[in-house]
Every structure is written in C-alpha cells, then in structure tokens.
Structure 1
Amino acid sequence: MALLTPGLLASAAVDIDQLSLDLSDGLQLGTKIIVAFFLFGVALDTRIGDFRDVVRRPWVIAVGVVAQYVVAPGLTLLLTLALGVKGSVAIGMLLVACCPAGNLSNILTHRARGDVALSISLTGVSNVLAVLVTPVALAFWSGLNPSAEALLRDIELSPWDVVAEVALLIGLPFAAGLLVAWRAPGFAARAQRFVEPGALVLLLLIVVGGLASQFGVFTAYLAVVVLPIAGQNLLALGVGYGTGRVCRLSEAGTRAMTFELGVRNTGLAVVLALGFFADLGGVVFVAALWGLWDVLTGLALATWWRRRTPRPVAAQPVNGAG
C-alpha cells in the first residue's frame, strides 16, 4: 500500500510542522486541572506499602525503569527515523515515550488479572522519577532526531521549564494525594472510587471535544500519523511484554509490565504539548490521538487476557527478582 511508505509519509506531512491547533486558554487550563486531579487520584490509591516491591524486587523495578526511559524511547527514536516522520510528529512520539505511566495501567492490569502490586509500585516510581527524567529524556532523545532537534532549537525549549511544569502537574497533586491517603485513609478510599474514573472521563471528553472542534485538521492529518502512532503503541506494548519475559516474571507480572510500559500518561503529554509546543500542532495532535488509541488497545488486550487465567511462573529468577 503506497500510503504507508516512509517517503510518502514525509511528503504528505509537509505542512504538519506548521500546523497550529487553536485551543482556548480555558480549555488548556481545564486540561491541566484534570490531569492534576488524575494524578491526585493515583496517589489516593497509593500507600507506602505499595512501594514494597522497590525493596523486595529492586532488580525488577530497576529494569522496568530502564526499559521505560531508555529502551522504549530509543526504539521510538529509531521508528521515527525509519518512517521519516516530520519533526513535530517525532517530538510528539518521543514526548509520549518519555512520559510515565498513569493509573490507567493499574486499572488495565487489574482487569487483565495481572500483578496489581507490581503495577502500582512501577507507576509510583515512574511518576516520582518523571519530574526530572521526563524533561531530560525528551531533550536527549529529540536531539538525536535531526528534524525534531531543528524544531526544538527554533523554539528554544528549556528542560528546566518543563521540569517546573511536570513538578506542578505531577509532584504537587501526587504529594497531596499521598498526604490525604496517609492522614485520612477512609476518605481516600471512598473518594478514589470517583476521582479516578471521573478524571479519566473528563480528560477523554476534552480530547475528543478538542479533536471534534478541529475536525478538518483531524481528517487532513489522520493518515499522516496513524501508522506512527499504531506502530509506536505496538512497540511499547512489546517492550513491556519483553521486559517481563527478560525478568522471568510470572504471567501475571508480565501482564503488569506490559501495561506499565505500553500505556502512557498521554494526558500529561497533551498538557506538556499545549504548554511548550503551542505552535507545533503536530505534537498535540500526536499526543491526543495516542491517548485515544492507547485506551482502545489497552482495553482490548486486557479484555483478551481476562479470559485467560495467568499461569504460575515455572522458575523463580535469582536475587528475588520474581
């Protein structure tokens, strides 16, 4: 199919780097509030005991973090080069790859009969590290793609500005949620039932509504980004599954690792795209569509796995890694 060749992809995307999505300041602020609310909900469902895997299985956590912030973005970089995507599309893909997991990965792991304790531990660690790692990783990996690096140089992106934004979007609400969960566990348990699903629904409505308001843009550029998004999503899920197998986890653990590395916090990616790449609508476009595709593929995989009872691990890895 000629449409899917790298050369034609680059040709069709000739204007996407100049694409500007006209989203109101109110919509952008609302998205930030919802993402912060979403992270607050993640923390409400997090207890200090949930980090026990960091101590009990440090090797697994360490490998998961390396796979998330090194292997997945590195392979995404190679994918952007292989497909010859334009700079804004590459930045959008790498931005998603450098974002941490959200609590959607925990929900999908539970639905898939995976190791929820491992999933929560990995989500907590990745979100704590994201405050510093996400901006640095984005700058590093984007700098290795010539088209993306040229755009970043033109807009003079400061990693420290991104650190401040991520700290506000992740650090403050996550710390507040942990405090509430510690001081008022009963209230946190009741509130968590409504905060997380409500924030997810509102975020999806904003993304869908924003895309609907830009329907002409959506139809014009969908063919440009559909292959990169689908390919990266499949790649991310594959890295997660492969990491679980390398760590010799049980099938339940492998399912958890698959969702932790394959399901990104695309709400955070959209907010960062709106905040720092306002004139590069292709970045926002990729992040928003990634989020929708992420939910669909994640739910499909979790539903398929739910019908299959996980088999116990045949052999435990050394050093307590399983």
Structure 2
Amino acid sequence: MNIDEVTLNFTPTSLLLLDIVLAFIMFGIAMGVSYRDFAVVLRSPRAMAVAIAAQFLLLPALTFLLTLALQVQASIALGLILVACCPPGNISQVLTHQARGNVALSVSMTAVGNALAIVLLPLNFALWGGLHPTGSEILRSVQLDPVEMLLKILLIIAIPFALGLLIGNRWPKPVARVQPWVRGISLVALLAFIVIALAGNWQFFIAFIGVILLAVFLHEAIALSLGWGLARVSGLASPERRAMAFEVGIRNAGLGLGLTFAFFDGLGGMAIVAGWWGIWDIVAGLILATLWARHSRRRAARASGSDAGGGTAPSSAPAESS
C-alpha cells in the first residue's frame, strides 16, 4: 500500500463543519487577546524576535531536514512541513499557565504568530514543499496556488481572528465569561473530528503507524526543544522559556488538516500526520507542563523550608533553570 496514493474521504458537509470549527477556534483565541498584547513587540522585542524566527524560519527548515533524514514518503513529508508552517495552537496558553510560564507573553506570541501566519504560512509551505525532492512532485500535480491558499487562510484565520479581537475588546467583561467556553467547545469539537477521521480510516493509520508515530514524535520534540533552547540562548528567564517552548511546539495541526482536505483531497500521509499531530502535541504538552509545574513546586517548597529554618536564599542564588 502506497500512502501517497491513499485519500481520506469526507462528505462536503463534514469538511464545511471542519472549516467552521477551525474558524471558531480562531475566534475563541482572539476573544482573549487585548490590543495591548501586540505592544509586547515593543516591550519585549528580543523575545518576540526569537519567537518569530523559531516559528517561521527555523522550524520549517529543521522539519525539511527531518523529512530528508527519515526518508519518509512524499505525502508524510508534506504533512510534517505543513504542520510546521501553521501558527501556534489554541492551547499553548493553557499549557504555559499549567507549567507556570509567562502567560501574558504566550498570549502576545499567539496573537502576533497567527497574524503573521496569514501571509507566511502559504509562502513557507510553497518554499519548503517545493524544495522537497519528492514532495515537490505532489505540489506540481495539484498545482498549488499560494494566493488561493491565502484566501482560504483569510476565511479560516484572518476574518474570525479580527472579529474575535474586535468583540473581545469592545465588550471585555461579558466576553471574559464566555471565552473559556468558546475555546473549550471548539477544542473538543476539533479533537472529535480528528478522532473520527483517524477511526474512519483506521486501516491506513495502522498500516503506516510506525513511521508516522516516529516522525511526529521527533517533530514535536524538535519543535519544543527549539523554542526552549533559543529562549535560553537568548538569555530569557525560565517563565519566558516555558512560554516560548509551547508557542513553538504547539502548532495548529487542525488548520493543517483543513488545508489538506481543501487543497490535497485528504491525501493520506498529510491527513494522518496532521490528525495525529493534533492529538500528540496535546499529550506531549501536558506531560511537559506537568513536569515543569512539579519542578516549580519542589523549588518553592525547598525555598519555603529554607526560610522557615531561619535563613533566606542569598540574592545571588541562581534563577530556576528549566
């Protein structure tokens, strides 16, 4: 069985529902964004520059190299590249909060990242997909038009994001009460769609489970490590490093799945990679956030015990390193 020749079939109604869910997710994200969040570009230019470079320059490039190293089939390679080009996922702030990271910075990075992805996603995907030795053949066969993809992204990302931003800032108090429900419902709806998609095409998933699990596992590990590592090299503190790790590591794989159905007719490797990525990045993110939170609690307990013993930590004590 050649996964490059497999297509996952869904009815037009199902695909329309997926587009609505994706738009709803973006609407929910934007409802929690304040106009002031964009000012972080001026207040924290170093952090924002690192985040943008990691997400839109380094991650797609490293993903391209990963597909060459693993020698995966063309559709799997394109699926990994597409996910890498997608903007941050909608649970990055939840994971950052769980890990005791800088939530305000996370929100700002998500806002800026999604705004930039409107233009950079189709350009990045066309660039790296076009350079891939086997994936480029698929791109030529479907005659991918970056302008057409841009229009699709405008409908799924830009318009819902603009509406959510406008409504959230116009009526902040009532929106603050409903926004967690909007984000929660949209996330559950997306996960349900992904699970149904994988379950309905289980024979294809099982046939290629080994290479897909390995590729997605390594891809996620690279993305999380890239965010954290660049933040550390840049001299950012631990809360900022944790926020950066999730902003780079948690991608909007649901958007990648929607684009796969819209432009590639549900091509097997691309659809299964995007679907499994949407599940695994939540699992991996929760594991990492829990470990970081536990580490912070232990450090706080040790510091509290030291204070109770009659001493205080010296001012030169090193900052939390994870």
Give the TM-score, by structure 2 length.
0.91
Structure 1: unaligned runs, 5 residues or longer: 1-13, 316-322
The answer to whether the Cα contact below 8 Å between 2:9 and 2:266 also exists between their aligned partners in 1 is no
1:124 aligns with 2:86: no
Query: Is the contact between residue 197 and residue 275 of structure 2 (CA under 8 Å) also seen in structure 1?
Result: no
Which residue does 2:306 correspond to in 1? none
**Contact 1:249–1:313, Cα closer than 8 Å, also in 2:** no
Q: Secondary structure of the equivalent of 1:79?
A: helix
Task: Say which SS state the counterpart of residue 94 (structure 2) adopts.
Answer: helix
Is the contact between residue 18 and residue 279 of structure 1 (CA under 8 Å) also seen in structure 2?
no
CA contact (8 A) 1:99 1:269 kept: yes
Is 2:181 the partner of 1:198? no
- Residue pairs, 1:92-111, within 5 angstroms: 92-111=79-98
2:131 match: 144
Superposed counterparts of 1:7-26, under 5 Å:
15-26=2-13
Partner of 1:294: 281
Are the equivalent residues in 2 in contact too, given 1:19–1:280 (CA < 8 A)? Answer: yes
Match of 1:223 in 2: 210
CA shift, 1:171, in A, is: 0.4
Select 1:259's aligned residue among 238, 241, 246. Answer: 246
- Structure 1 distance, partners of 2:98, 2:276, is 23
How far residue 103 of structure 1 moved from its aligned partner, in angstroms, is: 2.3
Distance, in Å, in 1 between the alignment partners of 2:41 and 2:217 is: 32
Letter in 2 for 1:234: A
Name which one, 1 or 2, has greater alpha-carbon Rg: 2
Instruction: List per-residue Cα deviations over 1:147-177 (Å, max 9, x = no partner).
Output: 1111101110001111011111110000000
- Report the CA distance shift for 1:279/1:56 in structure 2 as closer, same or farther (over 3 A): closer
The AA in structure 1 aligned to 2:31 is L
CA contact (8 A) 2:228 2:245 kept: yes
- 1:82 equivalent in structure 2: 69
Corresponding residue number in structure 2 for 1:318: none
Equivalent residue, structure 1, for 2:99: 112
Determine if the alignment matches structure 1 residue 249 to structure 2 residue 244: no
Deviation sequence 1:263-317 (CA, Å, 0-9, x none): 10111111111111115221111100111111110011111111122889959xx
Q: Equivalent of 1:281, from 253, 265, 268?
A: 268
C-alpha distance in 2, partners of 1:155/1:211? 24
Give SS of 1:103's match: coil
Q: Which residue of 1 aligns with 2:310?
A: none
Structure 1 CA distance for aligned equivalents of residues 89 and 17 of structure 2: 18
Q: Could you say what secondary structure the match of 1:308 adopts?
A: helix
Measure, in 1, the Cα distance between the counterparts of 2:61 and 2:49.
17
Structure 2: unaligned runs, 5 residues or longer: 300-315
Question: Secondary structure in 2 aligned to 1:146?
Answer: coil
CA deviation vs aligned residue, 1:94-139 (integer Å, no higher than 9, x gap): 0000001022111100111000111111100010001100000001
C-alpha distance in 1, partners of 2:187/2:232? 30
Match 1:73 to one of 60, 63, 88: 60
Name the aligned partner's letter for residue 160 of structure 2.
P
Kept in 1: contact 2:60–2:85 (CA 8 A): yes
* Percent of aligned pairs with the same amino acid: 43
Shift of 1:190: 1.2
Work out the CA distance in 1 between the residues paired with 2:145 and 2:63. 22
Q: Aligned residue for 2:309? A: none
Tell me how many residue pairs correspond in the alignment: 302
Alignment of 1:25-64 (within 5 A): 25-64=12-51
SS across alignment from 2:296: coil
Give distance in 1, aligned partners of 2:49 and 2:38.
Answer: 13
In 2, Cα distance between the equivalents of 1:273 and 1:106? 26
TM alignment of 1:302-313, pairs within 5 A: 302-309=289-296
**Preserved CA contact (<8 Å) 1:35 1:268:** yes
Of 306-315 and 243-252, the range deviating more from structure 2: 306-315
Cα distance in 2 for partners of 1:209, 1:49 equals 39
Q: In the superposition, relative to structure 1, how do residues 45 and 303 fare at CA in structure 2: closer, same or farther (>3 Å)? A: same
* Structure 1 runs, 4 residues or longer, greater than 3 Å off: 310-315
